[in-house]
């Protein structure tokens, strides 16, 4: 291997053309991006500070003055609270759209690597064991901020309540009053947490794209916030139940549905739905019966609607911003999932893993660490399952691949369906059609695996799937002369049995980039943990069950109607829906609520939710319809027809047909052993020197914890000439 080629980052390729021309970002664009960043940061800090300091007396006085000053406007108190508590996050979303449009396609060479390796809060693991899993320094700061906020708010409200207690009241009256007011305050704290709860699960939202947090990471934050929010709401309900029980009016109160004030019965229904979702989402229940978790989680509709009926419109506005962004994403996902997607081919590997190749349009972009949600209607009309993409966007313009390990009932049925169809004498009969729908893809805004010069990929079992896509992506970049900084790659893969090695047959490195070994230092270490020696049939090519599906005229590639599909269209969709919501609320106030003196809290809360939904469906739906027409026009212009699809399909088959992939030849396979990460990181430290080294882990939680623990230990006791390891997780655990 040429030593200079290994130690020099592959920032510039060997080819010629526009791919290698460095384009300097105009000063005006850079200045605009900085202004938008500062504005969004100022808005976010102000928003957080408002909620954090809200329990303080001086903030309460300022809040009362704000309400009095804006009470005479068209939107009244509801508009005032919406502007304070939901306006900032919606404005940040609009500014994020502007930022993404200005940025355009982010070029890797615009982000210069750090000259001196340094620690980063997002990639430095601090907690590696415990209920939160692996927690980075930045995530720990976020957790501590929420904990401090809850403790501070409870303390401030408790002191305020005690100061209101009159000596003329009896002990029983004081106790009941204290419990009821404290329960009210716990509900208010829960509303502040609810303002964040739905933001992480808006999969394709501009907010997640702007801060470049992929959905699989954001899901963890939703889980943490869900536990905290439901804990606060449960305490809120229990305090009222205890107070009403002491007073002897429990049954009367929980059945109360008053017009003016808080309606109790809708709150009971909302809390009951929330408790069902909470209990079934706990890890023991979720792992035992995923279907139960999935179906009960659809009760979020009941939870939100009856919460609005419970608290009324003006209190509901405190959390409406995050919920509105979630509704935007949910409607767009609904539109995308209506399309039937071609399955170009389906294959069962010897290890039982299923490989599906799905059709996609050329203009649907994704990166090698993306996820898609897949629905197969022959198995279930309601279940959607997330899978890592196993193909690089450079593998082909018109297809995307996923590897699916058989782990549960749904995946077992899918494998059985494929095996049954592969055994039929007429493979293209109507009964052999698998009807699939796709949501996504979702992932990082830019391929961060290409931003490291040194990379360690640690996989467990089917966790190798996204790394096959990463490796293919890197090889394509090297071959085509695209920006790529990587010079050292180490792959560590642990499998239970040797039949899983057939997963390596899905990539042929020699056909992608025959000369990669002279430009890239690639090492692989494979561990077969439950076999002490190679099986007798090792090296023999095992047959795979494979069949192809004829695309019909009614089906086609994946829809680009996704938040990550097109920045301008998704931005127009978000902005038009927001404008539509303001118009809807204004018309409702002018022509219905004010003239007819509508004062029922629960009814106005219901109207508020209806306006949120209708504004997305009508105003946003109009943009989605135009977006769909634009998509059809683009597809027609690109002549996305069966002949091109078949060419791409043939290219894919040619790529994966070889069983003796070069990756398998490079592998050092150890039987009956497990990875010793201490030894691995020490060896890497000696060979790579003082550099930033990215570590991406895809596998079970135990594997993530083991790697994170060793990274934390190494970074704490590292020598000055050793690498700084950056932990990145790529595991989707629902």
Task: Write out 124-148 in H/E/C secondary structure.
Answer: CEEECCCCCCCEEHHHHHHHHHHHH
What are the tokens at 228?
Answer: 């905290």
CATH tag, 340-423+431-535+543-548? 2.40.30.10
Residue corresponding to tokens 């989680």:
297
- Side-chain half-sphere CA neighbours of 561 within 13 A: 29
**Predicted pLDDT of residue 552:** 39
Our measurement of the distance from residue 629's CA atom to the centroid of its chain's CA atoms, rounded to an integer in Å, reads 28
User: Under 8 Å CB-to-CB from 410, ≥6 apart: which residues?
Assistant: 379, 380, 383, 385
- Are the C-beta atoms of residues 417 and 379 closer than 8 Å to each other? yes
For the segment 22-42, the average pLDDT, to the nearest whole number, is 85
How does pLDDT run across 616-673, given as a tens digit for each residue? 999 999 999 999 888 888 777 765 444 444 444 444 444 444 444 445 455 578 888 8
Q: Is the pLDDT of residue 538 over 70?
A: no
Mean pLDDT, the chain, integer: 83
Q: For 589-700, where are the alpha helices, taking DSSP H only?
A: 601-614, 621-637, 642-656, 662-666, 677-688
| Per-domain residue ranges of the chain | 340-423+431-535+543-548
**Predicted pLDDT of residue 551:** 43
The Cα–Cα gap between 550 and 528 comes to: 38
How does pLDDT run across 219-239, given as a tens digit for each residue? 899 999 999 999 999 999 999
What are the tokens at 325?
Answer: 């962004």
The Cα–Cα gap between 76 and 68 comes to: 10
Q: Is the pLDDT of residue 550 over 70?
A: no
User: 3-state DSSP helix/strand/coil percent for the chain, to nearest 5?
Assistant: 55, 10, 30
Our measurement of the distance from residue 562's CA atom to the centroid of its chain's CA atoms, rounded to an integer in Å, reads 13
- Are the C-beta atoms of residues 492 and 467 closer than 8 Å to each other? no
- Side-chain half-sphere CA neighbours of 204 within 13 A: 32
% residues pLDDT > 70 (the chain): 85
* DSSP symbols for 293-349: HHHHGGGHHHHHHHHHHHH-HHHHHHHHHHHHHHHHHHHHHHHHHTS-B-EEEEEE-
Per-residue H/E/C for 245-263: HHHCCHHHHHCCCCCCCCC
For the segment 58-62, the average pLDDT, to the nearest whole number, is 91
**Predicted pLDDT of residue 638:** 63
Largest alpha-carbon pair distance within the chain?
A: 90
Q: Is the pLDDT of residue 5 over 90?
A: no
387: enclosing H helix or E strand? strand 385-388
First to last CA, the chain: 43
Q: Is the pLDDT of residue 80 over 80?
A: yes
Q: Is the pLDDT of residue 266 over 50?
A: yes
- Are the C-beta atoms of residues 656 and 506 closer than 8 Å to each other? yes
How does pLDDT run across 292-349, given as a tens digit for each residue? 888 899 999 999 999 999 999 989 999 999 999 999 999 999 998 888 888 888 888 8
Residue corresponding to tokens 């009309």:
381
The Cα–Cα gap between 126 and 123 comes to: 9
Q: Does the predicted TM-score (pTM) go above 0.85?
A: yes
For the segment 574-586, the average pLDDT, to the nearest whole number, is 95
Q: Is the pLDDT of residue 110 over 80?
A: no
The Cα–Cα gap between 545 and 407 comes to: 19
Q: Is the pLDDT of residue 264 over 70?
A: yes
Which of 185-189, 402-406, 421-425 is the least confident region? 421-425
Q: How many residues does the chain have?
A: 734
Highest mean pLDDT among 21-35, 172-186, 458-472, 663-677: 172-186
**Predicted pLDDT of residue 342:** 80
For the segment 505-529, the average pLDDT, to the nearest whole number, is 78
**Predicted pLDDT of residue 391:** 87
Long-range CB contact pairs, 155-163, < 8 A, 24+: 156/55, 156/56, 157/55, 157/181, 157/182, 157/185, 158/182, 160/55, 160/57, 161/185
For the segment 443-447, the average pLDDT, to the nearest whole number, is 78
The Cα–Cα gap between 595 and 586 comes to: 13
């Amino acid at each position: 291997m040429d030593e200079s080629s290994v130690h020099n980052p592959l920032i510039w390729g060997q080819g010629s053309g526009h791919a290698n021309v460095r384009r300097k970002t105009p000063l005006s664009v850079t200045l605009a991006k900085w202004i938008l960043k500062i504005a969004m940061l100022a808005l976010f800090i102000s928003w957080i500070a408002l909620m954090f300091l809200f329990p303080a007396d001086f903030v309460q006085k300022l809040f009362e003055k704000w309400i009095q000053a804006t009470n005479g406007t068209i939107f009244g108190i509801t508009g005032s609270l919406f502007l304070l508590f939901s306006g900032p996050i919606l404005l940040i979303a609009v500014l994020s759209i502007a930022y993404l449009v200005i940025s355009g396609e982010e070029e890797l060479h615009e982000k210069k690597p750090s000259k001196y390796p340094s620690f980063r809060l997002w990639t430095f693991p601090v907690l590696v064991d415990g209920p939160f899993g692996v927690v980075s320094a930045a995530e720990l700061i976020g957790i501590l901020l929420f904990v401090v906020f809850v403790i501070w708010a409870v303390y401030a409200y408790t002191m305020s309540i005690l100061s209101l207690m009159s000596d003329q009241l009896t002990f029983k009256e004081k106790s009941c009053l204290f419990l009821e007011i404290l329960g009210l305050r716990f509900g208010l704290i829960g509303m502040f947490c609810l303002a964040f709860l739905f933001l992480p699960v808006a999969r394709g939202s501009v907010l997640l794209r702007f801060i470049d947090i992929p959905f699989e990471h954001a899901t963890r934050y939703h889980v943490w916030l869900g536990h905290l929010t439901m804990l606060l709401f449960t305490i809120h309900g229990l305090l009222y139940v205890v107070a009403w029980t002491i007073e002897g009016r429990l049954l009367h109160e929980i059945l109360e549905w008053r017009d003016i004030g808080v309606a109790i019965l809708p709150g009971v229904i909302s809390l009951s739905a929330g408790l069902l979702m909470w209990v079934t989402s706990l890890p023991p229940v979720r792992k035992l019966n995923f279907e139960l978790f999935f179906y009960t989680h659809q009760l979020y509709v009941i939870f939100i609607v009856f919460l609005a009926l419970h608290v009324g419109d003006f209190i509901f506005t405190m959390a409406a911003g995050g919920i509105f962004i979630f509704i935007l994403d949910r409607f767009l996902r609904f539109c995308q999932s209506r399309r039937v997607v071609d399955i170009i081919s389906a294959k069962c590997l010897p290890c039982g893993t299923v490989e599906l190749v799905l059709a996609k349009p050329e203009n649907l972009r994704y990166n090698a660490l993306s996820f898609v949600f897949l629905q197969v209607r022959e198995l279930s009309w309601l279940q959607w399952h997330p899978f890592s993409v196993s193909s690089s966007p450079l593998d082909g313009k018109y297809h995307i691949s996923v590897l699916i390990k058989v782990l549960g009932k749904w995946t077992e049925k899918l494998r059985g369906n494929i095996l049954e169809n592969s055994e039929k004498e007429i493979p293209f009969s109507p009964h052999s059609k698998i009807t699939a729908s796709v949501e996504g893809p979702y992932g990082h805004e830019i391929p961060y695996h290409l931003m490291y010069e040194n990379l360690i990929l640690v996989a467990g079992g089917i966790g190798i799937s996204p790394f096959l896509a990463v490796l293919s992506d890197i090889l394509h970049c090297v071959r085509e002369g695209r920006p790529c900084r990587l010079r050292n790659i180490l792959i560590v893969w642990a499998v239970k049995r040797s039949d899983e090695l057939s997963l390596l047959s899905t990539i042929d490195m020699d056909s992608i980039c025959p000369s990669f070994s002279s430009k890239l230092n690639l090492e692989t270490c494979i561990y077969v943990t439950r076999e002490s020696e190679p099986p007798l049939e090792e090296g023999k090519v095992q047959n795979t069950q494979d069949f192809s599906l004829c695309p019909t005229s009614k089906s086609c590639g994946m829809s680009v109607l996704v938040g990550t599909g097109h920045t301008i269209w998704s931005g127009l969709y978000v902005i038009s829906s927001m404008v539509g919501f303001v118009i809807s609320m204004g018309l409702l106030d002018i022509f219905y609520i004010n003239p007819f003196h509508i004062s029922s809290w629960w009814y106005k809360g219901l109207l508020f939710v209806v306006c949120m939904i209708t504004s997305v469906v009508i105003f946003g739906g109009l943009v989605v319809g135009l977006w769909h027409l634009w998509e059809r026009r683009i597809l027609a212009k690109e002549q996305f027809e069966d002949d091109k699809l078949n060419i791409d399909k043939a290219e894919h088959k040619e790529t994966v047909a070889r069983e003796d992939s070069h990756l398998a030849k490079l592998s050092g396979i150890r039987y009956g052993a497990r990875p010793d990460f201490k030894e691995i990181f020490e060896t890497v430290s000696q060979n790579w020197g003082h550099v930033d080294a990215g570590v991406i882990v895809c596998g079970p939680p135990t594997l993530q914890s083991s790697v994170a623990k060793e990274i934390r230990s190494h970074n704490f006791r590292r020598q000055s000439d050793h690498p700084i390891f950056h932990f990145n997780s790529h595991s989707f655990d629902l």
